[in-house]
Amino acid sequence: MNNFSEAAQHLAKHWLDREHTQALPQDCRPATRAEGYAVQALWPALAGKVGGWKIAATSLAGQRHIGVSGPLAGPVFASRVHADGASLPLAGNRMRVAECEVVFTFRQAIDPRPEPWTREQVLAEVGSVMPGIEVPDSRFLAFERAGEAQLIADCACCNDMVLGQPLPPGERLNDLANLAVRAQMSDGRMLEGIGSHVLGDPVQALIWFFDEMSSAGQRIAAGQFLTTGACVTPIPVEPGQTLQADFGWLGAMKVRFV
């Protein structure tokens, strides 16, 4: 039987130290998605309070890039959640990409349940919506070949998350698939994306997340957030650069990399 505690300790230590590893030792390596989530569930005792959640690989291109069969969910730890305008260190980050994402917060705790969630039900749980910029990283040197069980155990490549200003939910949540997102880098690069890049609709990603957490037996705490995936193709970043992201009616934000 796999030693999930050993796997969590191995990965969380690398996360805390901003270091990387080739792979988990064979005797504690998860072999299935369920085992990956079992490892992930042990992280908070080692890495600290969970501030929110993330979804990785919400596009087919992203799934192909890391060799997984579908999206992956994982926690984002409160110690690496930052406010708009933050300066983020890239030391120890091998991915070095930024992702412009739609973020939801939850007004109350969400318990696992056997029945699937509907669109109306998940929208009723939204406390606010905001723009966000995720700066992910994996503990695995060759994350593209780690496989989905290990990537889930690695908390779906969680790292730093920058949150914009929250807005109350409303009818505009039903049009997030058409949300135009524009990113401008300080080196002159301009990139554009749209909400439909995220599983067709960020709300659909929210539905997927609730169902996935139910399957994993994971409770979501009141006030936590979900960042739903990249609306704009992940943007390569380097120290000294600044990213400004315009999410239209959802707001604008920026982050500097150091």
Is the pLDDT at 71 greater than 60? The verdict is yes
pLDDT band at residue 184 using 50, 70 and 90 as cut-offs: very high
What's the pLDDT score for residue 172? 96
d(CA 208, CA 219): 15
What's the pLDDT score for residue 12? 98
What's the pLDDT score for residue 2? 63
β-partners of residue 76 are 52
Neighbours of 249 (CB within 10 A): 9
Is the pLDDT at 1 greater than 60? The verdict is no
> Contact at 8 Å (CB) between 153 and 24?
yes
- Please report, for residues 15, 20, 39, 99, 257, the alpha-carbon distance to residue 10 in angstroms, rounded to integers and kept in the order given: 9, 10, 10, 27, 27
Neighbours of 147 (CB within 10 A): 19
d(CA 42, CA 153): 9
d(CA 134, CA 62): 15
Q: What is the mean pLDDT of residues 180-195?
A: 98
pLDDT band at residue 65 using 50, 70 and 90 as cut-offs: confident
Q: What is the mean pLDDT of residues 63-84?
A: 93
Domain covering 4-257: architecture: Alpha-Beta Complex (3.90)
Q: What is the mean pLDDT of residues 199-227?
A: 97
> Contact at 8 Å (CB) between 155 and 134?
no
pLDDT band at residue 62 using 50, 70 and 90 as cut-offs: confident
- How confident is the prediction for the chain on average, in pLDDT? 96
Residues of the chain above pLDDT 90, percent? 92
> Contact at 8 Å (CB) between 117 and 32?
no
pLDDT digits 0-9 by tens, 97-130: 999 999 999 999 999 999 999 999 999 999 999 9
